[in-house]
Amino acid sequence: MMSRSLDPHALEVVRAVGARGGVGAAAELLHVTPSAVSQTLQALSRDVGMPVTERVGRGVRLTPAGEALAAASVDVAVALERARAACDALRTDPGGEVTVSAFASGARMLFPTLLTWAQGVPGLRVVLADGDVATDQFAALTDEIDVVVGHHPEGEDPWAGIGRRVVPLLREPLDVALPLDHRLADRSWLTPQDLADERWISVREGFPVAEVLSAITGGAPHVTQRLNDFSVVEALVAAGHGISLLPRYTTSAQGRFRLLPLRGVRAARSIAALARPDRAERLAVRRVLDRLVADAASLTAPH
C-alpha cells in the first residue's frame, strides 16, 4: 500500500542530501548510515512517482523534483515546529534543550549572562559550544546547532537568501590596541593615516576582523602574526610585538595596553544569531533568541 502522505523525515533527508551534496555527508549529518539515506530516497521516489536523485560521477545530485521537495521540506518543518510551539506556549516552562554556538570573543561577551538566565528558567537546558569558523561557514553550523552566533564586517550581508533566520544582535566597533609605550599611546583617538607602516597582529584570512583591517589600511597591511584567540593577541600587543584591531566590548585593556577608537572610517563588526527556520519556531529557541537580543542591547547601552 502506498503511503498517502509524504513523510516529513524523508523530506528532511532530501534537504540534507541537497545541502551536503551527497548521501554519505547527509547520513553523517543525520547520524544514520548511508544505506538508510539511500533507502529513504528510494522510498520517497516511489511515493512521488519520479526519482528525487540522479547519479553524477560517483556521487548523486537532486533532480528538479528533489530540489522542489527539499525547498518544500522547510515549510513542512516550520509548520511542525510551530505546532509544537503552539502547544508549549500553554506550559509554564519552555522546556527542552537548546544548543548555542558562538565564536570565541562573542561567547565571552554573551555566554555568561545567557547561562545565568537559563539556570533560572525551569526545564530549559542551554548547551554551549564555541566554534571559530570563517564568515561563510557559520550558516552550515545551524544544521547541527540550534542557535549560532556569528559575525561579519559591517555593511556586508553574507547571510541573505540562504534560508536561515537571521537575528541582528549588535554592532561592535573595532578599536586599535597599542602597547603602553607606543608613540601614539597618549592620543585619545586615531585615524587610518596615523597607522601607516605599523606592524599588525591580525586574525586568519576569511575572518571578519581581518577584512576590516584590510579595508581601513587601504590594501595589504603589514601583518606579522595571525592568531584567532584575542587573549593571545592582547598579550602580544601588551608585550610590544605589534598593534592590533580588537572589538570594543569584548576587550578590556585593564592597563596592560591602550585601546583607542578610530575616526574617519567605519570600523566595526556586526554580530547576529543564525538559526534554521524550523528550529527558530521552537519556543525554547525563541526565548534564547529574545534573551540574546536583550543582552546585546544592554551591552551597548552603557557605552
Contacting positions for a copy of itself (CB under 8 A): 5-6, 8-9, 11, 48-50, 64-65, 68-69, 71-73, 75-84, 86-91, 95
- Residues 157 and 151: beta-carbon distance below 8 Å: no
Which whole-number Å values give the CA distances from 61 to 14, 22, 54, 56, 141, in the listed order?
A: 10, 7, 6, 7, 22
Gap between the Cα atoms of 225 and 204, Å rounded: 9
Residue 6 contact, options DNA, a copy of itself, none, Cβ 5-8 Å cut-off depending on partner type: a copy of itself
- What string marks each residue from 198 to 227 as x (binds DNA by CB under 7 A) or -? ------------------------------
Cell of 6: 509524504
Cell of 13: 533527508
Residue 161, classed as helix, strand or coil, is coil
Nearer to DNA (CB atom), residue 13 or residue 280: 13
- Residues 203 and 226: beta-carbon distance below 8 Å: yes
Residue 266 contact, options DNA, a copy of itself, none, Cβ 5-8 Å cut-off depending on partner type: none
Give the orientation angle of helix 8-20 with respect to helix 64-88, to 10 degrees.
120
Q: Does 33 bind DNA (CB under 7 A)?
A: yes
Cell of 286: 525563541
Residue 41 contact, options DNA, a copy of itself, none, Cβ 5-8 Å cut-off depending on partner type: DNA
Taking Cα atoms as reference points, which of 135, 161, 147 lies closest to residue 276? 147
- Single-letter amino acid, residue 158: P
- Residues 110 and 102: beta-carbon distance below 8 Å: yes
CB of 134 vs a copy of itself, minimal distance in Å: 30
Gap between the Cα atoms of 107 and 221, Å rounded: 28
CA 61 to chain centre: 27
CB of 288 vs a copy of itself, minimal distance in Å: 18
Interactions with DNA, residue window 40-99 (CB under 7 A): 40-43, 53, 55, 57-60
Cell of 56: 553524477
Q: Pick the stretch among 28-36, 62-70, 131-139, 147-155 that binds DNA (CB under 7 A).
A: 28-36
CB of 59 vs DNA, minimal distance in Å: 4
Count how many residues are written for the chain.
303
Q: Which of 6, 8, 19, 24 binds DNA (CB under 7 A)?
A: 24
Q: Does 34 bind DNA (CB under 7 A)?
A: yes
Nearer to DNA (CB atom), residue 52 or residue 213: 52
Residue 1 contact, options DNA, a copy of itself, none, Cβ 5-8 Å cut-off depending on partner type: DNA
CB of 127 vs DNA, minimal distance in Å: 22
- What string marks each residue from 229 to 258 as x (binds DNA by CB under 7 A) or -? ------------------------------
* Torsion-angle region of 164 (φ positive above 0: left; ψ -120 to 50: alpha; else: beta): beta
Nearer to DNA (CB atom), residue 57 or residue 120: 57
Interface positions with DNA (CB under 7 A): 1, 3, 7, 9-10, 22-25, 31-43, 53, 55, 57-60
